[in-house]
């Protein structure tokens, strides 16, 4: 290892990097914004996917009675569902039990003591033997006298999947645009350093430095812009996750959100690598243009 | 060392910088290229270090067919020759030592070679004692000597000088020419493009005269002006 060469190279990169601090900051900022968007998008996507899987596998659904349903109607409905061969079990949950369950699920976040009366209807909790049969059982349960509504999560799933595909399309579009913008800003930044160093470059060419040797410091500069931007983005995303995730859990208590669906270290690595890659590619193009003219 | 055969260079704007030029320069020669501004002296030098490519003709430098050289092979050619300019082309934020070392560093030279060769080059041009100074603190002659040290630090076989004394006063000019002569005596082929009549007339070396892109005279031990009409046209 020739430390003199390493020192010289790093010195050149550092000199480039500190020459246009303002432009450098702009480039890093743009990369950071892009990566934050990318990270948020990946996060939402994987959460939705996790949610979808979770819900698809649920075989439990609720049959809500009208508020004026008689206990005879409720009993016959229960008997009818219990008799259905596709049903595994049927539990009756009274208004009172329902409220107690809600209290337990939300762990005091929703202040149920403010309620002057119990808004919940009586319901049956039905478990199907197979997730595929939930829709059919729900359809027949709807026809039973005294039943107001049947809520099974497949409805939610269909909507979630629709939302997911819209989000995916919009998100990918936005991210592509931002990646382009970040690339252009980095390549402009590099062009400025190239311009500031055009004498060095012409002398390097004159004394027989290879194209790769001339490019390397600029590529490193772009890469550094990208990696720093990516790192800032990861810090922002982590902060957002730590502060917003608990609030999200509270705000959407009925959704089985699963944070474990995301491989965080991998995501962090991916985001930083993406940042570095934008920077390196943008500067490669930018310096290449200069060397060819 | 250098061979041009039927070389023409026409710029994209239609200007014919060189017109069917043929020239042989032997190893160890010292040659002046003279002529008015815009007669093709600089264009000819640029062809030799492959800054431009000829429109037609063959160029060989140290056995390398420069006119056919692929872009990726240019660095290898340039490491075999040194180039010096009128405006020195020094980096103002680097010291004399760093400017000279730069030429080795950017070609990936080993530190121990740099530490051996840079002092040698600075000794040769007589600037060892000013190695820590910046170009802004040097006289024109010293700046040009730094540039020459940089051109020589990779031990080239050929030194190309484009108006090396164009920015210098007469005493600095003499100093630089004597330095070039000494370098030539050590075996390096030297080609100097100049329109400094006094220098050419005093040194009495080979003089190749260009006019309108053509070689009009080529004399051993010549004068700037063709011995006032007594010389002979050898090629062009």
Mean pLDDT by 10 residues, chain B (236 residues): 94 92 95 90 94 94 93 91 93 93 90 94 95 95 95 94 92 93 95 91 92 91 67 43
| A293 pLDDT above the threshold of 70 | no
Residue of B71, B75, B92, B158 to mutate, interface with A, max A Cβ within 10 Å:
B75
In a domain, A2, yes or no: no
Under an 8 A CB cutoff, do B78 and A210 touch?
no
User: Between B61 and A192, where is the model more confident?
Assistant: B61
Residues A272 and A175 in one domain: yes
Two tokens, residue B30? 């010292």
Chain A residues in contact with B106 (beta carbon < 8 A): 203-204, 207, 209, 213-214
Q: Which of A5, A206, A214 has its CB closest to that of B78?
A: A206
Q: Are residues A62 and A145 in the same domain?
A: yes
- Within this chain, do residues A141 and A168 fall inside the same structural domain, yes or no? no
- My answer on whether A198 and A288 are in the same domain is yes
Q: How far apart are CA A180 and CA A283, in angstroms?
A: 13
The reply to whether A267 and A178 lie within a common domain is: yes
**Inside any domain, residue A238:** yes
What are the E-state strand segments in chain A?
60-65, 87-93, 123-128, 147-151
pLDDT band per the 50, 70, 90 thresholds, residue A33: confident
Q: What is the dihedral of CA B10, B13, B17, B22, to 10 degrees?
A: 0
Mean pLDDT calculated for residue range A114-123: 78
Inter-chain CB proximity A208 and B76 less than 8 Å: yes
Rounded CA gap, B111 and B133, in Å?
Answer: 21
What is the DSSP secondary-structure string of chain B?
A: -EEEEEEEEE-TTS-EEEEEEEEEE-TT-EEEEE-STTSSHHHHHHHHTTSS--SEEEEEETTEEGGG--GGGHHHHHTTEEEEETT----TTS-HHHHHHHHHHTTT--HHHHHHHHHHHHHHHT-GGGTTS-GGGS-HHHHHHHHHHHHHTT--SEEEEESTTTTS-HHHHHHHHHHHHHHHHTT-EEEEE---HHHHHHH--EEEEEETTEEEEEETT--SSGGGGTS-----
- For A144-204, list the strands marked E by DSSP: 147-151
In Å, how far is B8's CA from the nearest CA of chain A? 22
Q: Do residues B56 and B6 make contact, with C-beta atoms less than 8 angstroms apart?
A: yes
CA dihedral A104, A109, A114, A118 (to 10 degrees): -40
Neighboring chain A residues of B72 at a CB cutoff of 8 Å: 211
The answer for residues whose C-beta is within 8 angstroms of residue A130's C-beta and 6 or more apart is A59, A86
CA distance B182 to B149: 13
Q: Which A residues 210-249 touch B at CB under 8 Å?
A: 210-211, 213-214
Same domain, A250 and A181: yes
Q: What residues in A contact B77, CB-CB < 8 Å?
A: 208
The mean pLDDT value of chain A amounts to 80
Has residue A268 been placed in a domain?
Answer: yes
Are A50 and A170 part of one and the same domain? yes
Proportion of chain A above pLDDT 90, given as a percent: 1
> How far apart (Å, rounded) are the C-alpha atoms in residues B119 and B180?
18
Residues of chain A in contact with residue B111, where contact means CB-CB under 8 angstroms, are 2-5
Predicted confidence at residue B236, as pLDDT, reads 36
- pTM beyond cutoff 0.90: no
Query: What is Dmax (Cα atoms) for chain A?
Result: 99
Q: In this predicted structure, which of A46-55, A200-209, B121-130 has the lowest mean pLDDT?
A: A46-55
Confidence of residue A70 (pLDDT cuts 50, 70, 90): confident
Q: Is residue A267 part of a domain?
A: yes
Q: Is A70 within the bounds of a domain?
A: yes
Q: Which residues of B touch A202 (CB under 8 A)?
A: 89
In a domain, A61, yes or no: yes
Residue A251 reports pLDDT greater than 90: no
Q: What is the separation of C-alpha A176 from the centre of its chain, rounded to a whole number of angstroms?
A: 16
Q: Do B107 and A209 touch (CB under 8 A)?
A: yes
A4 in reach of chain B (CB within 8 A):
yes
Which DSSP string do the residues of B47-79 spell out, in sequence order?
Answer: HHTTSS--SEEEEEETTEEGGG--GGGHHHHHT
Cβ of A1 under 8 Å from any chain B Cβ?
no
Selected from 3.30.470.10, 3.40.50.2300, 3.40.50.300, 3.40.120.10, the CATH number assigned to the domain covering B30-50+80-229 reads: 3.40.50.300
Q: What is the ipTM of this complex?
A: 0.82
Residues of B in contact with A3 (CB under 8 A): 111
Both tokens of B23, joined, read 């020239």
Reported as half-sphere exposure (CB side, CA atoms, 13 A), residue A119 has a value of: 6
Chain B residues with CB under 8 Å of A288 CB are none
Q: Could you give the number of structural domains in chain A?
A: 2
- Looking at per-residue pLDDT, the higher value among A12 and B115 belongs to B115
> Tell me, what CATH number does A89's domain have?
3.30.70.3040
Among A2-6, A108-112, A180-184, B176-180, whose mean pLDDT is lowest? A108-112
One domain, residues A103 and A138? yes
State whether A287 and A161 are in the same domain.
Answer: yes
Q: How many CB atoms lie within 10 A of CB B222?
A: 23
Query: Which of B105, B112, B147, B160 is the best substitution to test chain A (most A C-beta atoms within 10 A)?
Result: B105
Per-residue model confidence (pLDDT) at position A153: 66
Cα–chain-centroid distance for residue A146?
42
pLDDT tier at A290, thresholds 50, 70, 90: confident
Q: Is the dihedral of CA A284, A287, A293, B1 positive or negative?
A: negative
- CB–CB of A216/A12 below 8 Å? no
Domain that holds residue A118: 57-153
The answer as to whether A1 is a domain residue is no
Alpha-carbon distances of B41 from B5, B162, B215, B219, rounded to whole Å: 16, 8, 10, 16
- In chain B, what are the domain boundaries? 30-50+80-229
Residue A177 has pLDDT above 90, yes or no: no
Q: Is pLDDT of A208 > 60?
A: yes
Please give the interface size between A and B, counted as residue pairs whose CB atoms are below 8 Å apart.
Answer: 57
Mutating which of B45, B78, B106 best tests the A interface, going by the most A Cβ atoms within 10 A?
B106
Question: Which of B78, B91, B103 comes nearest A199 by C-beta?
Answer: B91
Choose one of A153, A170, A205: the last residue of a domain: A153
Please state, in angstroms and rounded to a whole number, the distance separating the CA atoms of residues A275 and A218.
15
What is the per-residue pLDDT for B173? 94
Q: What residues have CB less than 8 Å from A247, skipping those under 6 apart? A: none
Residues shown for chain A: 293
Q: How far is B50 from chain A (nearest CA, A)?
A: 10
Q: Is A105 on the interface with B (CB under 8 A)?
A: no
Q: Do A8 and B105 touch (CB under 8 A)?
A: yes
Q: Are residues A137 and A12 in the same domain?
A: no
A243 and A170 assigned to the same domain: yes
Residues A177 and A219 in one domain: yes
Contacts with B74 from chain A: Cβ below 8 Å: 205, 208
Burial class (CB in 10 A: 0-12, 13-18, 19+), A228: buried
Q: CB burial class (10 A; 0-12, 13-18, 19+) of residue B36?
A: exposed
Model confidence band, residue A246 (pLDDT cutoffs 50, 70, 90): confident
pLDDT at B134: 96
Is residue B148 within 8 Å of residue B176, measured between CB atoms? yes
Identify the three-state secondary structure at position A125: strand
Q: Packing angle between helix B96-105 and helix B111-125, nearest 10 degrees?
A: 130
Contact A203 B89 (CB under 8 A): yes
**Residue A108: left (phi > 0), alpha (psi -120 to 50), or beta?**
left
Q: Shortest Cα distance from A9 to chain B (angstroms)?
A: 9
Domain finish residue from A134, A153, A172: A153
Q: How far is CA A153 from CA A51, A128, A131, A159, in A?
A: 11, 13, 11, 10
């Amino acid at each position: 290892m020739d430390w003199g060469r390493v020192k010289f190279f790093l010195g050149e990169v550092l000199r480039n990097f500190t020459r246009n601090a303002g432009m450098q900051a702009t480039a890093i900022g743009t990369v950071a914004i892009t990566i934050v968007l990318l990270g948020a998008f990946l996060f939402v996507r994987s959460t939705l996917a996790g949610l979808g899987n979770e819900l698809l596998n649920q075989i439990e659904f609720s049959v809500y009675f009208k508020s004026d349903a008689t206990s005879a109607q409720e009993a016959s409905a229960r008997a009818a569902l219990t008799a259905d061969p596709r049903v595994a079990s049927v539990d009756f949950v009274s208004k009172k039990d329902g409220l107690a369950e809600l209290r337990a699920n939300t762990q005091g976040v929703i202040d149920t003591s403010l309620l002057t009366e119990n808004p919940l209807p009586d319901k049956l909790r039905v478990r199907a033997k197979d997730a595929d049969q939930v829709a059919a059982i729900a359809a027949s349960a709807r026809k039973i006298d005294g039943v107001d509504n049947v809520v099974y999560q497949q409805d939610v799933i269909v909507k979630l999947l629709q939302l997911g595909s819209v989000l995916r399309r919009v998100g990918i579009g936005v991210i592509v645009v931002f990646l382009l913008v970040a690339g252009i800003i980095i390549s402009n930044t590099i062009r400025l350093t190239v311009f500031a160093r055009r004498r060095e470059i012409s002398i390097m060419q004159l004394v027989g430095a290879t194209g790769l040797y001339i490019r390397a410091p600029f590529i490193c500069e772009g890469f550094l812009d990208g990696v720093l931007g990516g790192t800032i983005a990861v810090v922002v995303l982590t902060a957002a996750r730590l502060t917003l995730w608990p609030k999200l859990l509270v705000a959407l208590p009925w959704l089985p959100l699963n944070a474990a669906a995301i491989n965080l270290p991998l995501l962090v690595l991916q985001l930083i690598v993406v940042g570095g890659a934008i920077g390196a590619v943008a500067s490669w193009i930018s310096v290449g243009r200069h060397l060819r003219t | 060392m250098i061979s041009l055969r039927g070389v023409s260079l026409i710029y994209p704007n239609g200007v014919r910088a060189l017109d069917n030029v043929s020239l042989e320069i032997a190893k160890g020669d010292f040659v002046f290229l003279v002529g008015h501004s815009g007669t093709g002296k600089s264009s000819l030098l640029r062809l030799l270090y492959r800054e431009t490519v000829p429109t037609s003709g063959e160029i060989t430098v140290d056995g390398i067919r420069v006119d056919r050289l692929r872009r990726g092979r240019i660095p290898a050619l340039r490491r075999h020759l040194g180039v010096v300019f009128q405006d020195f082309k020094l980096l103002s934020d680097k010291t004399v030592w760093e400017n000279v070392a730069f030429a080795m560093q950017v070609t990936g030279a080993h530190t121990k070679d740099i530490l051996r060769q840079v002092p040698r080059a600075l000794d040769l041009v007589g600037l060892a004692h000013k190695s820590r100074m910046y170009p802004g603190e040097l006289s024109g002659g010293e700046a040009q000597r730094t540039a020459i040290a940089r051109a020589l630090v990779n031990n080239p076989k050929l030194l190309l000088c484009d108006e090396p004394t164009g920015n210098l006063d007469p005493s600095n000019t003499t100093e630089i020419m004597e330095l070039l002569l000494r370098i030539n005596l050590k075996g390096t082929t030297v080609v100097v493009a100049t329109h400094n009549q006094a220098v050419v007339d005093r040194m009495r070396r080979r003089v190749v005269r260009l006019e309108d892109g053509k070689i009009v005279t080529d004399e051993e031990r010549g004068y700037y002006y063709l011995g006032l009409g007594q010389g002979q046209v050898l090629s062009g």
